[in-house]
Structure 1
Amino acid sequence: MIAQLVKSAADQGVYLYAKEGALHFDLTVSEFPATLKQDIIANKAEIIAFLSHAEGTSGNAQGPQPGHYPDGCVLSYTQQRFWLLEQMQSGQSQYNMPVALNVEGALELTLVEKVLSTIVTRHQILRTVYREQDDAVRQHVLPEHDFTLGFVDLSDSQGEQQQAQLSQCLLEEAQRPFDLTQQLSIRGQYVKLQGTGHDQRGVLLLTLHHIASDGWSMDVLINEFVTLYRAFAADQVNPLPELELQYADFAVWQKDRMQGGEFEKQLTFWQQTLEDAPLTHSLPTQHHRPEVKQTQGAHVTATLPAYVAQQLGAVAKQAQLSPFMLMHAVLGVVLSRHSNQSDIVIGTPVANRADEALSPLIGCFVNTLALRLDTRHNTLEAYLAHVRQVHMNAQVNQDVPFEQLIDALNLPRTSSYTPLVQIMLTTNDKFTDGNDESALMALPDVSLSPLEGSHPAIKFDLEIALNISDNQVETIWNYDVALFDAEFVEQLSEHFNNALIALADMSPQTRRALPLNRLSILGDKLESYLINGLNNNSADYPVDKCIHEVFEEQALQTPDQLAIKFGNKQLTYRELNERANQLAHFLIREYQVTPDTFIGLCVERSLEMIIGTLAILKAGAAYVPLDPAYPRQRVTYMMENSGVKIILSTHFIIEQLDLTDYHSICIDGLGNEQVVQTFVDYSTHNPRELVAGLTSSNLAYAIYTSGSTGKPKGVLLEHKGIVNIAFNHRHYLKVDGQSKVLHFASMSFDAGTWEYVMALLSGATLVIADSVQRLSPESIGQLLHSEAITHVLLPPAFLAMMEFRDDLALKALAVGGEACDQEVVEQWGGAYRMVNAYGPTEISICATWAELRPGQKVTIGKPLKNTSAFVLDSNLALLSPGVVGELYISGVGLARGYHQLAEQTAERFVSNPYFDGHNKCVTETLYKTGDLVRYLPDGELEYLGRIDQQVKIRGFRIEISEIEGLLADCLDVDAAVVTVATSATGAKHLVAYVQLNNKNAKNSVSGHENINDDKAVIQRIKTELADKLPDYMVPGMFVPVSQWPLTSNGKIDKRALPEPDLAAVEGEYIAPETHSEQRLVAIWAQLLHLQESEISTSANFFALGGHSLLVSKLVRAITSDPELQLQQIDMQDIFTAQSLAQLAQHIDLLRMQQLNAQAADSICDQDLVEDGEI
């Protein structure tokens, strides 16, 4: 602590002061103590900020003054906070502060009791109780007290039995709650373990409540205990100087001081600094956050060796940071990489004892500073400068009490976590004053030492304690076991140390130039595993060949094998190849097409569709599929944007689209004998020798996908990526000459290319579904059966609407294009081999795939051969397994980019920082998919939704896919889609569209039902979600859907979902109906100074202006209301209820329980009278 260091310097004759931003000193001793000098240099920046702040505030107001408070006095802001927490979590020990000391030697227990009694008398705060009066809580000092030391004798036990009894004894004592209304805030207990006199061994446990103590106070307590014990053992009087002030003086002074202009200036700083800060951290928790904060903690400890500690001191000095600042900076990076969040808020305590008269006091002075870091800086040097400025600003503005800041920010309160700060970073730096610390603990004939292994209750989600010295850096990670597993915290600890070691080993030149995303936290082994181990899947596929060349080789091998079939029409490989050759020769001779020339293909589903596709490729050009079912405006845009001059089509379509400005070539009849008459003069031989300069790096096609600007964008794909996917089909999906592949998708989607290359580059038969069949799940089911299809790719939403049948010949049922629900896998995955094919258009259709099996988690698996996948944060830093990040893909199938969209291409196709030329799967460019994923322990990827589905509502970051997944797990839900709707006021709301678990719904007419028809079911779903999710993640509106609207490609069309009525969840006044609602409206109106007509039953107490100080008043108003007749309600209930209506329902429930209990007591009393026992 900086204040402690400044005081320690003064005690040693070194007086520090700041002048014009520099640190100066005056000496009253002959020379500057060497160790002190090192401490000052290491913390120079923070000392300057501390002294500047002290100088800026010293002249503005008088310090605390001694006073007398016979009627009690106000609570300090920190006391208010702990009082409120105590009421919310009554009966818990979360804010107990136990300290256990090993005792060896002749400890006199009567002296111990006398010493502690003296300390209680000396420090009024330890004999202060808290009472509610006049709608407020005030603290009262008990004029007398009777402190008694507890005693437990375990000396009859030995070994492991004694150790177990000791642990249980210490745990029970440490967790025993205080009654702050009438008990002292300190208690002591001695546990005797062995012997008497000099052979005595035991444990002394002192427990204080945080409302009366802090870390500094514990040092004061131990120092005074040792000093008094020594004096009393020598029959001396109390040697401690009289205290100038008591804690109550500070509380009164603080309340008065908070009214000044300096305070308002500091408060404004924090309001601006923390505006729109995340309300909770985004670290992945291994367990759902409980409704009420739990207190059971555990810890992980790690130590870095002396050479690292020494090097880090030098690193900090070069960066003009204190060692603590440097550790904070590294922790920010580690938390950012584990949460994929660049906005990191970490709390740290400050002593808040600027006035020297406060130094010897026991009491809770500590204040929490919320330090907000931004990890989006490009370089390490810039980031460290940012961290330094964050600390400087925080030191200068450290006087605003954390509790008052939370109220000023109007942050929501909950019993589940601390607002704004759930992660705390502390340092246990001990600044030397030249004395041996072990000597400070020595008593006459007695040795005291801290008991190792004792662990207090956890107050936050994660508490990181640093012990920094010249010889080592020790980190203690205390964590809430209700949220985190030891394995995860051990990983955090390991990665923190990895980063520190990396910094220590780095040269100054490297540190100055290092991109922040290249600061390694993973260690060489894990980093190598993520880059190469998970991407070690290269294969010697003929990716130097073009699509049509592989097809031609296949046609030569199996000329008489059936190649394509459409209805009653079909062609062999020889026939298909020859007719495509004739059309290709025509294009080459008549239009002199060259590689990378675009040719439009606008035909209905037919044999001609495939002939035209192959002909364009054989001519050396690239095809642009134009679906004639698309709106005319969209087709026109695609033709104009791509710059096609030649379009293959049919008579009917040519007339409909008015293609007079294009070279339109009618290919009607190419699927039958008319080809002889149409292109009789053109060769049936492969035109390979006529196409100069064509390689597998030339374009094969351009697929137009939806664009963020509202206009579709053309994705440019090359031959080699498609050849790679075809050979992946051969080896992974076992496609061969006996296979029959269904062509289901439109050629305007990349799945249309997947399907024809799957068949025709592996010798299989391609069966084309017609335009009517592909719109009907029933018809597709019949086609799969009648044609004995072995391989098919379908959208999961379409498959979900198909009636299951177990008489199909399927050898591979692939799903893709959208996330697959578990229910679909349960229905189909047991009977057939089911494969989840994931991949954006930009990676040649498919990038990863996974086997899907009933009862197993749905994943997107691992990369295909010659493809690599990376899970990265927004700065392209590698993320650990289990951490959610964005999926980036590289490999042979990567698209060239977007047609005529250089800016968007540069945005989505980025330089790969992990390319080194050694791994064929890891290419120079990465594609930024926009998909959120994480690695599972087995190395498979789990898909978690789109990054644009990661929304922020009321300050909380929300993963929509998590809500959708839990909805799908509900027994009443078949499938669910969650969207974010924005109201007229600009507020965002979660809307859940649910297909309820009604087996007849799949065959019903498309549409949606009124939400009131399924009110009971929806309420059941809400209740189930509320047990698993925090309230802010439970959708405010549910819309039942009997059948999903689908796009032309069989995916769920979210734009066609019914519009939600947001008036039902926002802004609409709902009048009170029940008696409890009416009484609550009256009570709220009085407390909040509102008209009753302004309070809707859907309103939230805190949203209307309620704050922490009003909660206790609200509880008293409810329990004292003669009409509600409720004897007790917990503060926690106020925070849990999200609306007045919910609170009224809870009050009705409590009153019912109260009446039942009274009735039971009455019956019991009557039974006793009848039995003659009274």
Structure 2
Amino acid sequence: MSDEKQSSALEEKRARARALIQQRAAKPRALPPSFAQQRLWFLDRLEPGSHHYGIPFAVRLSGTLERSALEKSFQEIVQRHESLRTTFQAREGEAVQVVGPAPELPLHVVDLGGLDARETARRVRELTAEDVAAPFDLERGPLIRWKLLRLSDAEHILLLSMHHIVSDGWSIGVFVRELAALYAAFLQGAPSPLPPLTVQYSDFARWQRDWLQGDVLEEQLAYWRAHLADAPTALGLPTDRPRPPAQTFRGTQLPLGVSPAVTAALNVLSRQEGATLFMTLMAAWLVLLQRYTRQDDLVVGTPIANRNRAETEGLIGFFVNTLPLRTNLSGDPRFTDLMGRVRETALGGFAHQDVPFEKLVMDLRVKRDLSRSPLFQTMFVLQNAPLQPLALPGLTLTNLDLETDTAKFELTLTLVETSGALTGWLEYNTDLFDASTAHRLARAYERLLEGIAADPERRVSALPLLDAAGRQQALESFHPPAVPLSPRPLHALFEEQARRTPEAIAVECEDDLLTYAELERRANRLAHLLLASGLEPEERVALCLPRSTEVLVAMLAVMKAGGAFVPMDAGAPTQRLALMVAECRARYVLAPASLAVKLPVPPEARLEPGAWRQEGLLETPPARTVHLEQLAYVVHTSGSTGVPKGVMISHAGIANRMLWEQHALPIGPEDRVLQVASFGFDASIWEFFRALLAGARAVMVRDGAHQDSRYIADLMARRGVTQMNVVPSLLRVVLEEPRMADCHALRTVVCGGEALTTDLVDRLAEHSSATLFNFYGQTEVSIDATWFTCAPGMARKAVPLGQPLGNMKMHVLDVRGQPVPPGAPGEVYLGGPGLARGYFLRPDLSAERFVPDPFGPPGSRLFRTGDLARQLPDGELEFLGRGDHQVKIRGVRVELGEIEAALRQHPAIQDVVVLAREQAVEPEPPALDPRLLPLEPPPRGPSPHPLP
């Protein structure tokens, strides 16, 4: 069928509908509800007695009030409109609306005369709040109520409230106009001047059900199915509190306003771009949501009057419909280009507005999530036809703003254009958001509109959300004062400690104990061997050693000789070890002979454990000078191409990290530090040197037992461990071991490598009096960059990242590298002396991740972590997850691309996608342990279906 024929057929159907709606046949007592009424009835059944869907209205009456005329006017309005005489009942499980005779609704007057001004104001607030919060009974009715507060003979306040199931915002205007006309007439003793209503709301409900079926319904639904295909069902706006399992409607409003000058500029812009002011303001709201969610594909609801026929304009009833408008902001468009996208979306929605939202939700079969509303969670409203002022003879009337405690959606932005300026309010759910968060959102929107008015051709990512003062505050939030430290090369710091406490035990691994003096002697001997073998400054020495004190001897020896050690987990697959040895261009490999022969180095470059025992080696420190900027070690992390990347850490970086902790959290010779991390990860370096730079003892777990929770708890109890560094997932299972009850010496627990949750903080407090610290960082910043002191009973789910440790700084920046406002998510950038030099032989990747610091002195750098975070109302920083395809599995950084690349090498695999899925681990939720889940397409065959 051609477009012309389709249009003609649709118009014929509309004509028949108009005829149908005008038929005033006798109606049965029980009538079907409209689709919108049916949904509200269902919601009321879920939460009986709720007041969330009341529409309150209040006006102050100054002057001489004729109560009888007011009361008669009210009764006449109720008599005129069947909707105000309607109740709702269940018949065979379905809702029906029952139209009854007009109930007697006498005007209830509360006399507040004689009270002083302060007490009067208090009682008015109290009575108004009570009226707003009073529920409606849909089955018994009435669904409209009114009350008059008498302040004096010349001052009254009229309170009016209707349930949304029989009313909407437009209906308030109808009520106001009719009340004014009726009061004026009744005051003069004249009859009602209002013409009879030719239709009632029940006619609309019947028409809607009769007309919206068959081809008419299918044509409209087809548009929405295409418009919302694969649309996101949840708005990723970070909340201030965990989302309740079932959606709540508690909320409040925050006022906002836009100056006349900015309003005028936005109106001019709208006309220039062929858009309405609604489209311009909606586009700005979408920009704000994108900046706070980092989502390009957004669905926002907007109400539409849905009174397309003249017969319905004078009715009180629930006509308003909601349109889910979907806009894509990808590609960082200019704001004017975004306006074009919004214009197209809005016009398409307006042209297909007849489908009730409730019918649309049913048709799309939206997967229901009781914790949020379907399709969208935020609403945008522009009231460009503001409520007509109520004018009554002999009275001066003032509309009163009512503070409701409800929010139908998570966020609703309502704007009204009056007297050449925009005013409005932001309604928000108080179970999700703090007042400070709503305030920041409102101010950010105002600032955004100012930026749009000043330069609408800017890219949306460049539009400002902060003023100059806010920007400066954001830059300084996580940049504490410098800490005076005296860094020296890591081995030099150890040598100083060895001279102070030569006979103290430095490290133990079961029965193998080394004093500081013996450790220094062995390390010196091995260092001289490396020098005699020709090791040059910063040449790499791969350490592939089983768990023993030989590891620490080797680390120190390589640094003393001026080289950089490359720690590796000897238990890792040989193929991966060989890849890392080749990648770092290792000059020497220190490994057992059985392993060394499998690694890509010549025989003369292989050293075995205990090589320091060779005859003729000196036991004094080598004379080679090692500078702070020289490499101390290279640690490999997962790489997206399938090849691990080597992170180059200098002595200056690791020395700053270790000296700061001894400065801030000092330990001494009496302390025992648990060494549990795999040698392939930099946490093991922290564990060793946390002890060795303080004269304490490093207590190593035996080989193969670094994930054995029972053994670890027993070792801590036997050896009197006072400090442990552990990933949260391992701490959770260790705490379940009965032997933890005997770990009386434990004073400090440091968690890192994974997000730490407050339930684990509380669980530790149940087992131990130890202080728990949350450390955050990455290998590229010398292990850690921030720290936070935990306390049990914290009113949040995740532990914050805390403040930067000594001489480090942190920024949260947007996609353009500019500070984000508090509450908005951004990428974490870290700076300071702890930054790695870069990735070994990867200048391209180094330039991508280590970028110039635009806020620091010339030559300074920042590291892009790829982590997302946001500043909380209390100033702390909350970790939100990764912004890329990297995950952490039990504290180990894993690039999913590396796993995919390895799997694709298998000849039987055509393509593969690897996902990280969290699943509960014992003993109970909320302990979640990520697992890698490879997804493989169907096998090769005549009709392969490779993954996109």
- TM-score w.r.t. the length of structure 1 is 0.66
- 2:786 matched residue in structure 1: 848
Offset at 1:565? 6.3
- Once residues 275 and 588 of structure 2 are traced to their aligned partners in structure 1, the CA distance between those partners, rounded to angstroms, is 66
1:349 aligns with 2:303: yes
- Once residues 366 and 910 of structure 1 are traced to their aligned partners in structure 2, the CA distance between those partners, rounded to angstroms, is 53
The answer to whether the Cα contact below 8 Å between 1:154 and 1:162 also exists between their aligned partners in 2 is no
- 1:367 matched residue in structure 2: 321
1:405 aligns with 2:360: yes
- 1:89 matched residue in structure 2: 47
1:687 aligns with 2:624: yes
Which deviations, in whole Å up to 9, do the C-alpha atoms of 1:186-211 show, x marking residues without a partner? 4444443322xxxx332333333323
The answer to whether the Cα contact below 8 Å between 2:447 and 2:467 also exists between their aligned partners in 1 is yes
Offset at 1:750? 0.7
Find 2:256's aligned residue among 281, 302, 311.
Answer: 302
1:725 aligns with 2:657: yes
- 1:654 matched residue in structure 2: 596
- Once residues 742 and 184 of structure 1 are traced to their aligned partners in structure 2, the CA distance between those partners, rounded to angstroms, is 71
- Once residues 264 and 66 of structure 2 are traced to their aligned partners in structure 1, the CA distance between those partners, rounded to angstroms, is 43
Distance 1:583 1:938, change over 3 A: farther
The answer to whether the Cα contact below 8 Å between 1:777 and 1:802 also exists between their aligned partners in 2 is no
- The letter for the 1-side match of 2:780 is E
- Once residues 930 and 143 of structure 2 are traced to their aligned partners in structure 1, the CA distance between those partners, rounded to angstroms, is 62
Computed over aligned residues only, the root mean square deviation of the Cα atoms, in angstroms, reads 4.5
Offset at 1:406? 0.8
- The letter for the 1-side match of 2:421 is Q
1:428 aligns with 2:383: yes
- 2:773 matched residue in structure 1: 835
Which deviations, in whole Å up to 9, do the C-alpha atoms of 1:935-989 show, x marking residues without a partner? 45554445566678999xxxxxxx999xxxxxxxxxxxxxxxxxxxxxxxx9999
- 1:585 matched residue in structure 2: 531
1:890 aligns with 2:839: no
1:616 aligns with 2:558: yes
The answer to whether the Cα contact below 8 Å between 2:669 and 2:695 also exists between their aligned partners in 1 is yes
- 1:512 matched residue in structure 2: 457
1:632 aligns with 2:580: no
The answer to whether the Cα contact below 8 Å between 1:863 and 1:869 also exists between their aligned partners in 2 is yes
Structure 2 runs not aligned, ≥5 long: 1-5, 891-913, 934-948
Q: Which residues of 2 match residues 574-973 of structure 1 at below 5 A?
A: 575-576=521-522, 578-588=524-534, 593=536, 595=538, 597-644=539-586, 646-654=588-596, 657=598, 661=602, 663-671=604-612, 674-677=613-616, 679=617, 685-688=622-625, 696-697=628-629, 699-707=631-639, 712-734=644-666, 743-759=675-691, 770-771=702-703, 792-796=724-728, 797=730, 800=735, 801=737, 803-804=739-740, 812-819=748-755, 821-823=760-762, 825-826=764-765, 830=769, 832-855=770-793, 858-871=799-812, 878=819, 881=822, 887-898=828-839, 909=849, 911=851, 915-918=854-857, 923-929=861-867, 933-936=869-872, 939-943=875-879
Offset at 1:864? 1.6
- Once residues 565 and 989 of structure 1 are traced to their aligned partners in structure 2, the CA distance between those partners, rounded to angstroms, is 38
- Partner-residue secondary structure (3-state), 2:107: strand
- The letter for the 2-side match of 1:496 is Y
- 1:123 matched residue in structure 2: 81
- Once residues 386 and 545 of structure 2 are traced to their aligned partners in structure 1, the CA distance between those partners, rounded to angstroms, is 82
- Once residues 738 and 350 of structure 1 are traced to their aligned partners in structure 2, the CA distance between those partners, rounded to angstroms, is 73
- 1:158 matched residue in structure 2: 115
- Once residues 419 and 64 of structure 2 are traced to their aligned partners in structure 1, the CA distance between those partners, rounded to angstroms, is 36
Offset at 1:112? 2.6
- Partner-residue secondary structure (3-state), 1:90: coil
- 2:23 matched residue in structure 1: 67
Distance 1:119 1:414, change over 3 A: farther
- 2:393 matched residue in structure 1: 444
Distance 1:587 1:528, change over 3 A: farther
Which deviations, in whole Å up to 9, do the C-alpha atoms of 1:373-431 show, x marking residues without a partner? 44554255254443343323322332221111111111255776543344332223237
Distance 1:578 1:413, change over 3 A: closer
- 1:77 matched residue in structure 2: 35
Q: Which residues of 2 match residues 482-521 of structure 1 at below 5 A?
A: 482-504=431-453, 506=454, 508=455, 511-514=456-459, 516-521=460-465
- Partner-residue secondary structure (3-state), 2:739: coil
- Once residues 784 and 813 of structure 2 are traced to their aligned partners in structure 1, the CA distance between those partners, rounded to angstroms, is 20
- 2:347 matched residue in structure 1: 392
The answer to whether the Cα contact below 8 Å between 1:599 and 1:623 also exists between their aligned partners in 2 is yes
Which deviations, in whole Å up to 9, do the C-alpha atoms of 1:127-176 show, x marking residues without a partner? 4455556875454554x535544231405442344444444544555555
- The letter for the 1-side match of 2:660 is N
Aligned residues: 885
- Once residues 161 and 501 of structure 1 are traced to their aligned partners in structure 2, the CA distance between those partners, rounded to angstroms, is 42
- 1:994 matched residue in structure 2: 922
- The letter for the 2-side match of 1:475 is G
- The letter for the 2-side match of 1:64 is R
Distance 1:392 1:924, change over 3 A: farther
Which deviations, in whole Å up to 9, do the C-alpha atoms of 1:1049-1095 show, x marking residues without a partner? xxx79579xxxxxxxxxxxxxxxxxxxxxxxxxxxxxxxxxxxxxxx
- 1:145 matched residue in structure 2: 102
Distance 1:178 1:431, change over 3 A: closer
Which deviations, in whole Å up to 9, do the C-alpha atoms of 1:293-337 show, x marking residues without a partner? 655543222334434433444455566543333333333344445
- Once residues 342 and 168 of structure 2 are traced to their aligned partners in structure 1, the CA distance between those partners, rounded to angstroms, is 26
- The letter for the 2-side match of 1:992 is A
Distance 1:900 1:881, change over 3 A: same
- Once residues 330 and 916 of structure 2 are traced to their aligned partners in structure 1, the CA distance between those partners, rounded to angstroms, is 26
1:225 aligns with 2:155: no
- Once residues 565 and 456 of structure 1 are traced to their aligned partners in structure 2, the CA distance between those partners, rounded to angstroms, is 63
Q: What percentage of aligned pairs have identical amino acids?
A: 30
- 1:102 matched residue in structure 2: 60
Offset at 1:616? 3.5
Which deviations, in whole Å up to 9, do the C-alpha atoms of 1:528-585 show, x marking residues without a partner? 3332232224345567x65456666777898898766662444527635632441232
- Partner-residue secondary structure (3-state), 2:306: coil
- Once residues 78 and 886 of structure 2 are traced to their aligned partners in structure 1, the CA distance between those partners, rounded to angstroms, is 53
- The letter for the 2-side match of 1:752 is S
- 2:472 matched residue in structure 1: 528
- Once residues 230 and 54 of structure 1 are traced to their aligned partners in structure 2, the CA distance between those partners, rounded to angstroms, is 46
- Partner-residue secondary structure (3-state), 2:774: strand
Distance 1:85 1:941, change over 3 A: closer
The answer to whether the Cα contact below 8 Å between 1:804 and 1:827 also exists between their aligned partners in 2 is no
Give the structure with the higher percent helix. Answer: 1
- Once residues 431 and 837 of structure 1 are traced to their aligned partners in structure 2, the CA distance between those partners, rounded to angstroms, is 54
Stretch deviating more after TM superposition (455-464 or 359-368): 455-464
Distance 1:227 1:598, change over 3 A: same
Distance 1:529 1:431, change over 3 A: closer
Distance 1:924 1:652, change over 3 A: closer
Distance 1:428 1:937, change over 3 A: closer
- The letter for the 2-side match of 1:77 is F
The answer to whether the Cα contact below 8 Å between 1:645 and 1:662 also exists between their aligned partners in 2 is no
The answer to whether the Cα contact below 8 Å between 1:428 and 1:466 also exists between their aligned partners in 2 is yes
- Once residues 886 and 171 of structure 2 are traced to their aligned partners in structure 1, the CA distance between those partners, rounded to angstroms, is 44
- Once residues 556 and 56 of structure 1 are traced to their aligned partners in structure 2, the CA distance between those partners, rounded to angstroms, is 98
- 1:983 matched residue in structure 2: none
